[in-house]
Amino acid sequence: MNPLSIRSSGILLHPTSLPGPHGCGDFGQEAYRFVDWLVGTGQSLWQMLPLGEVGPGNSPYMSSSAFAGNIMLIDLLALAEHKWLSQDELAVTPAFLDSHVDYQVVTAFKLGMLRLAATRFFALPGKRLGDSYAAFCEREKHWLDDFALFKALWAHESWRDWSEWPEELVKRNPKALSKAAKQHADEIAFWKFCQWCFDTQWKALRKYANERGVHLVGDVPIFVAYQSADVWAHQELFELDENGRPTIVAGVPPDYFSATGQLWGNPLYRWSTHQETGYAWWIARLRHAFKLFDLVRVDHFRGFADYWAIPADAANAIDGEWRPGPGAAIFEALLGAFKELPIIAEDLGMITDEVIALRDQFDLPGMRILQFAFGEDERNHFLPHHYTANSVAYTGTHDNDTSVGWWHSVSEHERNFAQSYLRTDGQDINWEMMSALSASAANAVIFPLQDVLGLDSSHRMNMPGTGNGNWEWRLTPEQIASCDSARLAGLTNRDKRNPRLV
């Protein structure tokens, strides 16, 4: 059964934001405690950001692979249980921050520990774990081989873009690739080991959550990073020139978030080639996502109808143009591969009738954001009285301010309208907004944990259009301990959003 077919409630929190002993949240004990907290408050959805490794600006939307997991999420204490690390080794740590992720410090520490663990694993893997590792490598080889080789070559080539590597590697000459695979065999094995650890720990966490009635909601960015194994391995699928460099890149025109638009810089798809292959790469990508998650939010759904194409040398996103996307053809191909599409369509921004028609043609739930509701009048479709059952409602997303922060920065019109509509004086604005969503017709409502905690703007996850200081927020143990869990549970039960009680 699709979890969105019944009334439900959930929390948006990326795993890196969890507490933990090694500088960022991971798949360790605190993740299991969070699942228990979700159950105790009647929540049945845990939404997170993309689980791939972070890219420029620490963004999880610019990963070096559309398939590989972020190895910073690996629980090192679990590796110590296998004797690949010792408690003494893990006790000597840098000065980690409880409230933020210092990615540079965390990455250096965790990579060092993972390399040590891999060395010990390969020295004496044991039959059971050795067989598990080998089976994983064989099962995932369709992406894992290219990814591990890409990571090894990237380091060997001093972190240069892949288009600057030796020509035989840029063009993926089979003999050159075979030679490189032998030359970098140990490094390739290390990256495969890390992905195996990620996969094993993630599956255990998902099993724990699912057994307790918590469904995991993932996030699939529509575009991938240029400096990724996907673009290097499938150059024919992207708008690149003869030297492997992008000719046009992704972004959005000026909008609510930015007066100059957003220049994301991802290479755009050569959709004609995707169509010729029956959208095989996209089918493989979604199949992988559906193995990881119960539901998948597809970011920038608009791009399937039409997308903003920006010259690769542009300074900002203003001078782009709209080009047609694949439209219904890609979703028809996906339906041919899967029995159903457990997808949430991120249909925010400048949405046209064509985007809405595409979403509705395949009965995909869209998103409603309450923070967007008060700029106009009662006709604004983000107001709760307009919600339909087949939608997912949020106070805000990872790209928004917290609700408390939003309240202190809105225009006078928005404040007055919100006070009238929500019947509030604003003193408890986060709970008033959550209550309005919960009482709505939307089958699913999801609250950023910052809103449950009533946190201000200093705790937001991302500010679109800025390159630094994003994606770093962490939840402290004191914050979750001070949370009004009973109030959240009462709200969820009031509006019959706890499937365990239905």
The model's pLDDT over 292-349, given as tens digits with 9 standing for 90+, comes to 999 999 999 999 999 999 999 999 999 999 999 999 999 999 999 998 999 999 999 8
pLDDT of residue 223 exceeding 80? yes
Active-site residue, 89 included: no
SS percent in the chain: helix, strand, coil, step 5: 45, 10, 40
CA angle, 144 as apex, 114 and 332 as ends, to 5°?
Answer: 135
Query: How far from chain centre, in Å, is Cα 74?
Result: 16
Our answer to whether residue 353 is catalytic in this structure is: no
At residue 467, the pLDDT reads 80
pLDDT at 257: 64
- Give φ, ψ of 364 to 5 degrees: -95, 135
Catalytic residue among 26, 299, 401, 451: 299
Q: How far apart are CA 72 and CA 59, in angstroms?
A: 13
Residue 443 tokens read as: 């089958």
Spatial CA neighbour of 490 closest among 402, 418, 409, 431: 431
Q: Which of 26, 140, 239, 346 is catalytic?
A: 346
CB 421 within 8 A of CB 432: no
Query: CA 161 → CA 48, 152, 229, 270, 420, distances in Å?
Result: 29, 13, 11, 20, 54
Token readout for 302 is: 């608009």
Half-sphere exposure in the Cβ direction for 178 (13 Å, CA): 3
pLDDT of the residue at 254: 84
| Residue 259: pLDDT band with limits 50, 70, 90 | confident
Q: For residue 391, which phi and psi values (nearest 5 degrees)? A: -150, 160
Question: Which residues are paired to 8 by β-bridges?
Answer: 444
Strand extents, DSSP E, 128-177: none
**β-strand pairing of 45-47 with 262-267:** unpaired
Please state, in angstroms and rounded to a whole number, the distance separating the CA atoms of residues 152 and 486: 49
Residue 48: CB atoms within 10 Å: 20
Return the structure tokens found at 446: 């999801």
346 tagged catalytic: yes
CB distance 78 to 201 below 8 Å: yes
**Pairwise CA distance, residues 12 & 446, whole Å:** 6
The model carries a pTM of 0.96
**Maximal CA-CA distance, the chain:** 70
Residue 265 has pLDDT above 80, yes or no: yes
pLDDT category at 3 given cuts 50, 70, 90 is confident
Q: Which of 376, 399, 484, 495 is catalytic?
A: 399
